[in-house]
Amino acid sequence: MRRHEAGAAPMDRDAEYGWEVAHPLGGASLDGVRMAGFRDRMAAGLDLRVLPQPAVIVVIELGDNTVTVESARGHQPMRSLVASLSPGPARIRGERVECVEVRLSPRAAHALLGVSPRELDGSVTALEDVWGRHERRLREQLTDATTWQERLALMDAFLTRRAAGAPSMSPEVAAAWETIVTRRGRIRVGDLAASCGWSRKRLWSRFSAQIGLTPKRAAMLVRFDHAARALRAGESAGNVALACGYADQPHLHRDVLALAGCTPGALAGGATSTD
């Protein structure tokens, strides 16, 4: 079994290791949505550390396949799952995985999931608990489809239907998130609130309700994402701390331990390439 260290989304770095990877022709129809199909054609198995990243991840296994999510909640078999922006230390393990994966920006997730981001509770959750009977019907349709392009088109059409009449994120919250991403998490909450014309308290409340994280935690997540990518690309912890705006290397160590549940060395040692 191959061991992976990656983001919450499995397998998209591993085409050369026996994973069949399919992308939709022309991309997804909706802004903030990326999708792909994956099949473990060499039966290598999946052993994935789930890492926080600035996207909500939806994975739908095909047929009767399941993956096992190992977290503070115990070992949970799931046919489909949704990983929040900051899911907490967890692993996903599976055999003969064949799935459709969708990455949602926070703005897209707010519109398409149909639940408040707070309800995901910083975890990896069974998608059936979020979408109910719609998840079951979609999984059946994806399983019955005979090609990856047909599956991805079905997924795209399903999301497009959900987007019709979906709630919109407030422009101020959307702008605050984009500022955090553009600044790579290196911005003070007071400056962020001023850019929106809101008080810190109002920004904190609205942002948390619509993104699922406080502004401070969101900035921490975005900065961590850049640091994690650099560590997995082979950069030293000292250089990463300096480049990503950490006060010092111990500060980087604390954030990696808090968000990923491992040390920077362990995070760096688990991957040989980047997304």
- 9 falls in which pLDDT band (50, 70, 90)? very low
Q: Domain spanning 4-163 has what CATH number?
A: 2.60.120.10
Q: Please spell the DSSP secondary structure of the chain, one letter per residue.
A: ---EE--SS-STT-GGGTEEEE--TT--SSTTEEEEEEEETT---EEEEE---SSEEEEEE-TT--EEEEETTEEEEESEEEE-SS--SEEEEESS-EEEEEEE-HHHHHHHS-S-GGGGTTSEEETHHHHTHHHHHHHHHHHH-SSHHHHHHHHHHHHHHHHTTPPPPPHHHHHHHHHHHHTTT---HHHHHHHHT--HHHHHHHHHHHHSS-HHHHHHHHHHHHHHHHHHTT--HHHHHHHTT-SSHHHHHHHHHHHHSS-HHHHHHT-SS--
Model pTM? 0.87
Q: Domain spanning 171-269 has what CATH number?
A: 1.10.10.60
What is the layout of strands, in order, in the sheet containing 98-104? Answer: 19-22, 33-40, 98-104, 56-61, 80-83, 124-126
Tokens at 89, concatenated: 């230390």
Q: Do domains 4-163 and 171-269 have the same CATH topology?
A: no
- Report the pLDDT value the prediction gives residue 89, as an integer from 0 to 100: 80
- Report the pLDDT value the prediction gives residue 275, as an integer from 0 to 100: 37
Domain ranges for the chain, please list them. 4-163, 171-269
- In this structure, of 20-34, 42-56, 167-181, the range with the lowest mean pLDDT score is 42-56
- 17 falls in which pLDDT band (50, 70, 90)? low
- What tens digit of pLDDT does each residue of 75-115 get? 999 999 999 998 878 889 999 999 999 999 999 999 999 88
Residue 10 has pLDDT above 70, yes or no: no
Residue 272 has pLDDT above 60, yes or no: no
Mapping DSSP onto H, E and C, the string for 18-30 reads CEEEECCCCCCCC
Average pLDDT over every residue of 121-147:
92
Tell me the CA distances in angstroms from 191 to 134, 163, 178, 196, 199, one per residue in order: 41, 32, 14, 9, 10
Average pLDDT of the chain, as a whole number: 88
d(CA 275, CA 16): 13
Residue 179 has pLDDT above 70, yes or no: yes
- Report the pLDDT value the prediction gives residue 15, as an integer from 0 to 100: 53
- What tens digit of pLDDT does each residue of 65-80 get? 899 999 888 899 999 9
- What tens digit of pLDDT does each residue of 183-225 get? 999 999 999 999 989 999 999 999 999 999 999 999 999 999 9
Tokens at 267, concatenated: 């995070």
- In this structure, of 10-19, 20-29, 35-44, the range with the lowest mean pLDDT score is 10-19
Q: Which residue has the tokens 């950069």?
A: 235
